[in-house]
Structure 1
Protein backbone atom coordinates (compact mmCIF):
# COMPACT_ATOMS: atom_id res chain seq x y z
CA UNK A 1 0.00 0.00 0.00
CA UNK A 2 1.96 2.94 -1.29
CA UNK A 3 1.56 6.25 -3.06
CA UNK A 4 4.62 7.36 -5.02
CA UNK A 5 5.46 10.53 -6.92
CA UNK A 6 8.02 10.85 -9.72
CA UNK A 7 8.86 13.47 -12.31
CA UNK A 8 10.30 12.90 -15.77
CA UNK A 9 11.96 15.65 -17.85
CA UNK A 10 10.34 18.36 -15.74
CA UNK A 11 10.89 19.91 -12.33
CA UNK A 12 9.05 18.25 -9.46
CA UNK A 13 5.99 20.30 -8.43
CA UNK A 14 5.89 21.89 -5.01
CA UNK A 15 3.46 19.66 -3.16
CA UNK A 16 3.43 18.59 0.46
CA UNK A 17 3.77 14.87 -0.27
CA UNK A 18 2.80 13.66 3.21
CA UNK A 19 -0.30 15.87 3.31
CA UNK A 20 -1.27 14.88 -0.24
CA UNK A 21 -0.91 11.17 0.56
CA UNK A 22 -3.09 11.58 3.64
CA UNK A 23 -5.65 13.51 1.59
CA UNK A 24 -5.72 10.85 -1.14
CA UNK A 25 -6.34 8.13 1.48
CA UNK A 26 -9.07 10.26 3.05
CA UNK A 27 -10.86 10.85 -0.25
CA UNK A 28 -10.61 7.18 -1.23
CA UNK A 29 -12.03 6.23 2.18
CA UNK A 30 -15.00 8.53 1.69
CA UNK A 31 -15.76 6.51 -1.45
CA UNK A 32 -15.44 3.19 0.38
CA UNK A 33 -12.01 2.42 -1.10
CA UNK A 34 -8.58 1.59 0.24
CA UNK A 35 -5.25 2.50 -1.31
CA UNK A 36 -3.20 -0.18 -3.02
CA UNK A 37 -0.35 0.94 -5.27
CA UNK A 38 -0.78 4.46 -6.68
CA UNK A 39 2.05 5.80 -8.85
CA UNK A 40 2.05 9.41 -10.04
CA UNK A 41 4.30 10.54 -12.87
CA UNK A 42 4.57 14.28 -13.48
CA UNK A 43 5.75 14.97 -17.01
CA UNK A 44 5.79 17.26 -20.05
CA UNK A 45 3.14 17.67 -22.73
CA UNK A 46 5.30 15.69 -25.15
CA UNK A 47 5.53 12.72 -22.77
CA UNK A 48 1.80 12.60 -22.12
CA UNK A 49 1.13 12.85 -25.86
CA UNK A 50 3.49 9.92 -26.41
CA UNK A 51 1.66 7.86 -23.76
CA UNK A 52 -1.73 8.87 -25.14
CA UNK A 53 -0.68 7.81 -28.66
CA UNK A 54 1.02 4.57 -27.66
CA UNK A 55 -1.42 3.15 -25.11
CA UNK A 56 -4.75 4.75 -25.99
CA UNK A 57 -4.30 5.55 -29.70
CA UNK A 58 -5.34 9.16 -28.99
CA UNK A 59 -3.46 11.88 -30.86
CA UNK A 60 -3.97 14.83 -28.53
CA UNK A 61 -2.58 16.45 -25.42
CA UNK A 62 -4.35 16.05 -22.09
CA UNK A 63 -3.70 16.97 -18.48
CA UNK A 64 -4.08 13.46 -17.04
CA UNK A 65 -4.17 9.81 -18.02
CA UNK A 66 -5.20 7.21 -15.45
CA UNK A 67 -4.42 3.52 -15.86
CA UNK A 68 -6.71 1.59 -13.52
CA UNK A 69 -5.52 -1.65 -11.88
CA UNK A 70 -8.17 -1.64 -9.13
CA UNK A 71 -9.34 -4.90 -7.66
CA UNK A 72 -12.47 -4.78 -5.53
CA UNK A 73 -12.24 -1.98 -2.98
CA UNK A 74 -8.43 -1.72 -3.27
CA UNK A 75 -7.65 1.03 -5.76
CA UNK A 76 -4.39 0.89 -7.68
CA UNK A 77 -3.19 2.68 -10.76
CA UNK A 78 -0.66 4.71 -12.65
CA UNK A 79 -1.59 8.38 -12.95
CA UNK A 80 0.31 10.48 -15.48
CA UNK A 81 -0.01 14.27 -15.24
CA UNK A 82 1.32 16.85 -17.68
CA UNK A 83 2.40 19.79 -15.56
CA UNK A 84 2.54 21.97 -18.68
CA UNK A 85 -1.14 21.34 -19.46
CA UNK A 86 -2.07 21.79 -15.80
CA UNK A 87 -0.34 25.19 -15.91
CA UNK A 88 -2.14 26.12 -19.16
CA UNK A 89 -5.49 25.07 -17.71
CA UNK A 90 -4.85 27.05 -14.53
CA UNK A 91 -4.33 30.16 -16.66
CA UNK A 92 -7.29 29.35 -18.94
CA UNK A 93 -9.70 28.88 -16.00
CA UNK A 94 -8.10 31.64 -13.90
CA UNK A 95 -7.22 29.23 -11.06
CA UNK A 96 -4.02 29.16 -9.03
CA UNK A 97 -1.62 26.50 -10.36
CA UNK A 98 -1.50 24.75 -6.96
CA UNK A 99 -5.29 24.38 -6.90
CA UNK A 100 -5.43 23.11 -10.48
CA UNK A 101 -2.66 20.61 -9.76
CA UNK A 102 -4.48 19.27 -6.70
CA UNK A 103 -7.71 19.07 -8.73
CA UNK A 104 -5.96 16.89 -11.31
CA UNK A 105 -4.21 14.79 -8.65
CA UNK A 106 -7.55 13.93 -7.06
CA UNK A 107 -9.30 13.58 -10.43
CA UNK A 108 -7.24 10.45 -11.08
CA UNK A 109 -8.13 9.03 -7.67
CA UNK A 110 -11.82 9.71 -8.26
CA UNK A 111 -11.60 7.78 -11.54
CA UNK A 112 -10.06 4.86 -9.64
CA UNK A 113 -12.95 5.15 -7.16
CA UNK A 114 -15.38 4.63 -10.05
CA UNK A 115 -16.44 8.18 -10.88
CA UNK A 116 -16.70 8.76 -14.60
CA UNK A 117 -16.74 11.95 -16.67
CA UNK A 118 -17.73 10.64 -20.11
CA UNK A 119 -20.88 12.76 -20.53
CA UNK A 120 -22.23 16.08 -19.28
CA UNK A 121 -24.01 14.65 -16.22
CA UNK A 122 -21.02 12.52 -15.21
CA UNK A 123 -18.67 15.48 -15.76
CA UNK A 124 -20.79 17.60 -13.42
CA UNK A 125 -20.69 14.83 -10.79
CA UNK A 126 -16.92 14.56 -11.19
CA UNK A 127 -16.50 18.33 -10.75
CA UNK A 128 -18.64 18.24 -7.60
CA UNK A 129 -16.56 15.36 -6.20
CA UNK A 130 -13.36 17.27 -7.04
CA UNK A 131 -14.66 20.39 -5.29
CA UNK A 132 -15.62 18.42 -2.16
CA UNK A 133 -12.16 16.83 -2.13
CA UNK A 134 -10.43 20.20 -2.58
CA UNK A 135 -12.32 21.57 0.43
CA UNK A 136 -10.81 18.76 2.54
CA UNK A 137 -7.30 19.96 1.75
CA UNK A 138 -8.23 23.62 2.14
CA UNK A 139 -8.43 24.74 -1.48
Structure 2
Protein backbone atom coordinates (compact mmCIF):
# COMPACT_ATOMS: atom_id res chain seq x y z
CA UNK A 1 0.00 0.00 0.00
CA UNK A 2 1.02 3.57 -0.63
CA UNK A 3 -0.17 6.26 1.76
CA UNK A 4 -0.03 10.02 1.38
CA UNK A 5 -0.03 12.07 4.57
CA UNK A 6 -0.10 15.84 4.85
CA UNK A 7 1.46 17.96 7.58
CA UNK A 8 0.79 21.12 5.55
CA UNK A 9 -2.19 22.49 3.62
CA UNK A 10 -0.81 20.93 0.40
CA UNK A 11 -2.75 18.05 -1.14
CA UNK A 12 -1.40 15.89 -3.95
CA UNK A 13 -3.78 16.07 -6.89
CA UNK A 14 -4.91 12.68 -8.25
CA UNK A 15 -3.31 10.40 -5.67
CA UNK A 16 -4.39 7.33 -7.69
CA UNK A 17 -2.25 8.41 -10.65
CA UNK A 18 0.78 8.80 -8.37
CA UNK A 19 0.07 5.49 -6.63
CA UNK A 20 -0.06 3.66 -9.96
CA UNK A 21 3.17 5.31 -11.09
CA UNK A 22 5.06 4.46 -7.89
CA UNK A 23 3.84 0.86 -8.09
CA UNK A 24 5.15 0.67 -11.67
CA UNK A 25 8.52 2.09 -10.59
CA UNK A 26 8.82 -0.69 -8.00
CA UNK A 27 7.75 -3.37 -10.50
CA UNK A 28 10.24 -2.04 -13.08
CA UNK A 29 13.03 -2.70 -10.55
CA UNK A 30 11.77 -6.27 -9.99
CA UNK A 31 10.71 -5.46 -6.44
CA UNK A 32 7.43 -5.84 -4.56
CA UNK A 33 5.42 -3.14 -2.81
CA UNK A 34 5.07 -3.48 0.95
CA UNK A 35 3.96 -0.25 2.64
CA UNK A 36 5.25 3.21 1.76
CA UNK A 37 4.09 6.35 3.50
CA UNK A 38 4.83 9.72 1.95
CA UNK A 39 4.62 12.57 4.46
CA UNK A 40 4.46 16.03 2.92
CA UNK A 41 5.64 18.73 5.31
CA UNK A 42 7.45 22.07 5.59
CA UNK A 43 11.08 22.89 6.29
CA UNK A 44 10.63 23.22 10.06
CA UNK A 45 8.97 19.80 10.35
CA UNK A 46 11.64 18.04 8.29
CA UNK A 47 14.48 19.95 9.96
CA UNK A 48 13.28 18.67 13.35
CA UNK A 49 13.34 15.08 12.05
CA UNK A 50 16.80 15.66 10.58
CA UNK A 51 18.13 16.92 13.92
CA UNK A 52 16.31 14.41 16.14
CA UNK A 53 16.85 11.20 14.18
CA UNK A 54 19.89 11.84 11.99
CA UNK A 55 21.80 14.42 14.05
CA UNK A 56 22.03 16.71 10.99
CA UNK A 57 21.34 20.40 11.60
CA UNK A 58 20.55 21.19 7.97
CA UNK A 59 17.60 21.66 5.67
CA UNK A 60 16.89 18.93 3.14
CA UNK A 61 14.19 18.10 0.62
CA UNK A 62 13.74 14.43 1.57
CA UNK A 63 14.43 12.05 4.41
CA UNK A 64 13.60 8.39 4.02
CA UNK A 65 13.42 5.69 6.64
CA UNK A 66 13.90 2.37 4.88
CA UNK A 67 12.04 -0.68 6.22
CA UNK A 68 12.63 -2.80 3.11
CA UNK A 69 13.04 -6.53 3.69
CA UNK A 70 14.51 -8.45 0.78
CA UNK A 71 12.63 -7.41 -2.34
CA UNK A 72 9.60 -6.02 -0.46
CA UNK A 73 9.87 -2.22 -0.56
CA UNK A 74 8.63 -0.39 2.55
CA UNK A 75 9.40 2.84 4.36
CA UNK A 76 8.49 6.35 5.37
CA UNK A 77 9.44 9.20 3.03
CA UNK A 78 9.28 12.75 4.40
CA UNK A 79 9.29 15.53 1.81
CA UNK A 80 9.69 19.25 2.51
CA UNK A 81 7.52 21.05 0.00
CA UNK A 82 9.41 24.28 0.68
CA UNK A 83 12.70 22.63 -0.39
CA UNK A 84 11.02 21.11 -3.45
CA UNK A 85 9.73 24.56 -4.45
CA UNK A 86 13.16 26.15 -3.93
CA UNK A 87 14.88 23.36 -5.87
CA UNK A 88 12.38 23.72 -8.72
CA UNK A 89 13.30 27.41 -8.92
CA UNK A 90 17.03 26.67 -8.69
CA UNK A 91 16.85 24.01 -11.43
CA UNK A 92 14.36 26.05 -13.50
CA UNK A 93 11.78 23.26 -13.66
CA UNK A 94 8.08 23.22 -12.74
CA UNK A 95 7.24 22.36 -9.11
CA UNK A 96 5.44 19.17 -10.20
CA UNK A 97 8.52 17.98 -12.11
CA UNK A 98 10.75 18.42 -9.07
CA UNK A 99 8.13 16.79 -6.83
CA UNK A 100 8.03 13.73 -9.10
CA UNK A 101 11.83 13.55 -9.00
CA UNK A 102 11.81 13.52 -5.19
CA UNK A 103 8.97 10.97 -5.02
CA UNK A 104 10.92 8.65 -7.32
CA UNK A 105 14.20 9.36 -5.50
CA UNK A 106 12.93 7.95 -2.21
CA UNK A 107 11.69 4.74 -3.81
CA UNK A 108 14.93 4.34 -5.76
CA UNK A 109 16.87 4.46 -2.49
CA UNK A 110 14.69 1.59 -1.24
CA UNK A 111 15.50 -0.30 -4.45
CA UNK A 112 19.18 -0.09 -3.58
CA UNK A 113 20.41 3.00 -5.40
CA UNK A 114 22.76 5.33 -3.54
CA UNK A 115 23.93 8.87 -4.21
CA UNK A 116 26.99 9.42 -2.01
CA UNK A 117 29.65 9.33 -4.76
CA UNK A 118 29.67 11.09 -8.13
CA UNK A 119 29.22 7.77 -9.93
CA UNK A 120 26.29 6.77 -7.68
CA UNK A 121 24.72 10.20 -8.05
CA UNK A 122 24.96 10.02 -11.85
CA UNK A 123 23.23 6.63 -11.86
CA UNK A 124 20.56 7.93 -9.45
CA UNK A 125 19.86 10.94 -11.72
CA UNK A 126 19.61 8.63 -14.73
CA UNK A 127 17.20 6.35 -12.87
CA UNK A 128 15.12 9.35 -11.72
CA UNK A 129 14.82 10.53 -15.33
CA UNK A 130 13.89 7.02 -16.48
CA UNK A 131 11.18 6.67 -13.81
CA UNK A 132 9.81 10.18 -14.35
CA UNK A 133 9.35 9.33 -18.03
CA UNK A 134 7.07 6.47 -16.90
CA UNK A 135 4.62 8.87 -15.22
CA UNK A 136 2.11 9.14 -18.06
CA UNK A 137 2.90 5.82 -19.70
CA UNK A 138 -0.02 3.40 -19.67
CA UNK A 139 0.58 -0.15 -18.53
Fold shared, TM-score > 0.5 on shorter chain: yes
Runs of 4+ with deviation above 4 angstroms: none
State the Cα RMSD in Å: 1.2
Cα deviation, residue 81, structure 1: 0.1
- Among candidates 87, 90, 93, match of residue 89 of structure 1: 87
Q: Structure 2 CA distance, aligned partners of 1:111 and 1:102?
A: 14
* Partner residue, 1:130: 128
Cα deviation, residue 125, structure 1: 0.3
Cα deviation, residue 12, structure 1: 2.1
Q: How many residues were matched structurally?
A: 137
Q: Structure 2 CA distance, aligned partners of 1:60 and 1:43?
A: 15
- Unaligned segments of structure 2, at least 5 residues: none
Query: Cα deviation per residue 1:65-121 (whole Å; 9 max; x = unaligned)?
Result: 010000011010000000000000000000000000011011000000111001110
- Unaligned segments of structure 1, at least 5 residues: none
Give the TM-score of the pair, scaled to structure 2: 0.95
Cα deviation, residue 14, structure 1: 3.5
Q: Structure 2 CA distance, aligned partners of 1:12 and 1:4?
A: 15
Question: Does structure 2 conserve the Cα–Cα contact (< 8 Å) formed by 1:117 and 1:123?
Answer: yes
Residues 106 and 15 of structure 1: is their aligned pair in 2 closer, same or farther, counting only changes over 3 Å?
Answer: farther
Give the TM-score of the pair, scaled to structure 1: 0.95
Question: Does structure 2 conserve the Cα–Cα contact (< 8 Å) formed by 1:86 and 1:101?
Answer: yes
